[in-house]
Structure formats: structure tokens, C-alpha cells
């Protein structure tokens, strides 16, 4: 009796669900290499992990899920690999757009879109427009995204406005910088997960992750599933966030 009362209490205890989860999806190449497969096979399998995690995030009550799909530095990869990744993006947008819409997912893309092929830019705009009014989960995909590039653009925008006389330099505050980032209107991530054992930020959400909780897992991205996602949420639930204060 005492035992079941204890476990019921544990189940009923309120657990903090992160409002915004960001993920650096890493390890596709190593997953493929371990199977003597081409890197593209790892990326393809990684797309299945994306589907599973989007569903799991929605079910868990996460409001924003940001996935790092392609960094501004990933353009340095061999041409064939870049082509494969762009091909997968096209495929994902074509095959999954309606599923996402049905799930109530709103899609938003952050990054330097101008570097993407025109047909991809069009597809992205279409899916964003189609899903704009959805409210279950906002899926933010970072493509051709770099945190420093984002900050440079914000600095340029502020400088332009100051030079034009529409902005007083003394009035520039943190909110003014945030408002000029790709992520304007999106709350900062509460939890950032990186897979594949690497423990670095790789130019992702530099400004936005000032007080984010980091969870690093050894699992390679193609093996990351809803249980792995749930485990990361559990790890977050055990963290104590202080924001510089004494609590």
C-alpha cells in the first residue's frame, strides 16, 4: 500500500516541460559509417528520427521545437553531400507538409534562405504560409543557419536604422537585438540537446542559448527516438535553473 502510494505521488508530481526544445541533430555520418553505408543513408535515416521527434514533442506539450538541419558552415561539405541534404529537404517538404499541417504544426525556417535553390525557397514559403495559423507546435528548422551570421545581420540592421535616423543608438537594448534576429517572436530555448557525443555549440543559437540547459547524449541522431527524447526531457526536469540569482 505504502509503495503504491509513493509511486502514485511520483507520477502525479508536476514536472517542468520545456516550452522550447532545440536539437543539434548530429551523427548521421558516423551512423552510416558504422554500417558501411554511404553518408547519405545516415541522412535519410535521420529524417525518420525527425518525424518521430516532431510527434513526440507535440505529444509532450512542447510548444517550440527547433532543429538544426544545415549550418552556414555545412556549405563547406563535398558538393555531392550538400546535394543529398538539399534533396532530402525537398523530399521532406513535399512528403511531410500535409502530415505536419494535420498535426497542427506551424513551420518556420530560420537561416540564410537566399543561399538555397529557388525551388526550395518557394517550397519553404508555401509550407510556412499553409501552416501559419497552426497552434499545436511550432517547428523551427534552421537551414543555412549560423548564429554569428544572424548576429552580424542584426548589427547591420541596427546600424542602418541608426544611420537613417530612425533609431537612437542609446535606445538599443537586448529586446532591440532579439527583435532583429531570425528568431524574433520565438522564446529562447529552455533545453538544447546535442546527439552523437559532441559537446559544442557549433554556431547554433548563440544569443538565444544564454540561459539554456544543455543535454549531451551519445546516441547518434538516426537512433534518436521518442524514448531518447523523453529521457532528455526527464534530464531537463531534474535541472535547477537559477539565471544568476540565489535560490
Q: By CB neighbour count within 10 A (0-12 exposed, 13-18 middle, 19+ buried), where does 247 fall?
A: exposed
**Directed axis angle between helix 39-60 and helix 226-237, to 10°?**
50
Are 148 and 206 in contact by the 8 Å Cβ rule? The answer is yes
Determine which one of 3, 8, 26, 168 is catalytic: 26
Determine which one of 3, 8, 28, 74 is catalytic: 74
Residues 176-215 that bind ligand IPE (CB under 6 A): 196, 198, 200, 202
Nearer to ligand IPE, 30 or 59 (CB): 30
Nearest approach, Cβ of residue 29 and ligand IPE (Å): 3
Alpha helix (H) ranges present in the chain?
2-12, 28-34, 39-60, 79-102, 118-131, 147-164, 174-178, 226-237
Nearer to Mg ion, 81 or 161 (CB): 81
Would you call 80 a catalytic residue per the annotation? Answer: no
Judged by CB under 6 A, the stretch of 13-21, 69-77, 164-172, 229-237 that binds ligand IPE is 69-77
Binding residues for ligand IPE, total number by CB under 6 A: 18
Among 66, 71, 72, 144, binds ligand IPE (CB under 6 A): 71
Write the DSSP assignment of 87-132 as a string of letters.
HHHHHHHHHHHHHHHHTTEEEEEES-GGGS-HHHHHHHHHHHHHHT
* Number of residues assigned to the chain: 247
Chain residue whose CB lies nearest ligand IPE: 29
Would you call 74 a catalytic residue per the annotation? Answer: yes
Residues 14-73 that bind Mg ion (CB under 5 A): 26
Nearest by Cα to 17 from 46, 57, 77, 50 = 57
Among 21, 54, 70, 131, binds ligand IPE (CB under 6 A): 70
Q: How far apart are CA 73 and CA 189, in angstroms?
A: 22
Q: How far apart are CA 174 and CA 126, in angstroms?
A: 32
Nearer to ligand IPE, 20 or 43 (CB): 43
Residues 193-212 that bind Mg ion (CB under 5 A): none
Nearer to ligand IPE, 18 or 27 (CB): 27
Q: Is 144 a residue that touches ligand IPE (CB under 6 A)?
A: no
Are 100 and 54 in contact by the 8 Å Cβ rule? The answer is yes
Nearest by Cα to 206 from 152, 147, 151 = 147
Q: How many CB atoms lie within 10 A of CB 179?
A: 14
Chain residue whose CB lies nearest Mg ion: 26
Catalytic residues, by residue number, are 26, 74
Q: Give residues in contact with ligand IPE (CB under 6 A).
A: 24-30, 68-71, 74, 85, 196, 198, 200, 202, 221
Q: Give residues in contact with Mg ion (CB under 5 A).
A: 26
Amino acid at each position: 500500500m505504502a509503495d503504491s502510494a509513493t509511486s502514485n505521488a511520483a507520477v502525479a508530481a508536476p514536472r517542468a516541460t520545456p516550452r522550447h526544445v532545440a536539437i543539434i541533430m548530429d551523427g548521421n555520418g558516423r551512423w552510416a559509417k558504422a554500417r558501411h553505408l554511404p553518408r547519405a543513408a545516415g541522412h535519410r535515416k535521420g529524417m525518420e528520427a525527425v518525424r518521430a521527434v516532431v510527434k513526440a514533442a507535440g505529444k509532450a506539450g512542447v510548444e517550440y521545437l527547433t532543429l538544426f538541419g544545415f549550418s552556414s558552415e555545412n556549405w563547406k561539405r563535398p558538393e555531392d553531400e550538400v546535394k543529398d541534404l538539399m534533396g532530402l529537404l525537398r523530399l521532406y517538404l513535399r512528403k511531410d507538409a500535409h502530415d505536419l499541417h494535420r498535426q497542427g504544426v506551424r513551420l518556420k525556417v530560420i537561416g540564410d534562405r537566399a543561399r538555397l535553390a529557388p525551388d526550395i525557397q518557394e517550397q519553404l514559403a508555401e509550407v510556412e504560409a499553409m501552416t501559419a495559423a497552426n497552434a499545436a507546435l511550432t517547428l523551427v528548422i534552421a537551414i543555412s543557419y549560423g548564429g554569428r551570421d544572424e548576429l552580424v545581420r542584426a548589427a547591420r540592421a541596427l546600424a542602418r536604422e541608426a544611420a537613417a535616423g530612425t533609431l537612437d543608438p542609446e535606445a538599443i537594448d537586448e529586446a532591440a537585438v532579439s527583435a532583429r534576429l531570425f528568431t524574433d517572436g520565438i522564446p529562447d530555448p529552455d533545453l538544447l540537446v546535442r546527439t552523437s557525443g559532441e559537446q559544442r555549440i557549433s554556431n547554433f543559437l548563440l544569443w538565444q542559448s544564454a540561459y539554456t540547459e544543455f543535454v549531451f547524449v551519445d546516441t547518434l541522431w538516426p537512433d534518436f527516438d521518442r524514448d531518447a527524447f523523453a529521457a532528455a526531457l526527464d534530464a531537463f526536469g531534474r535541472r535547477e535553473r537559477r539565471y544568476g540569482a540565489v535560490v
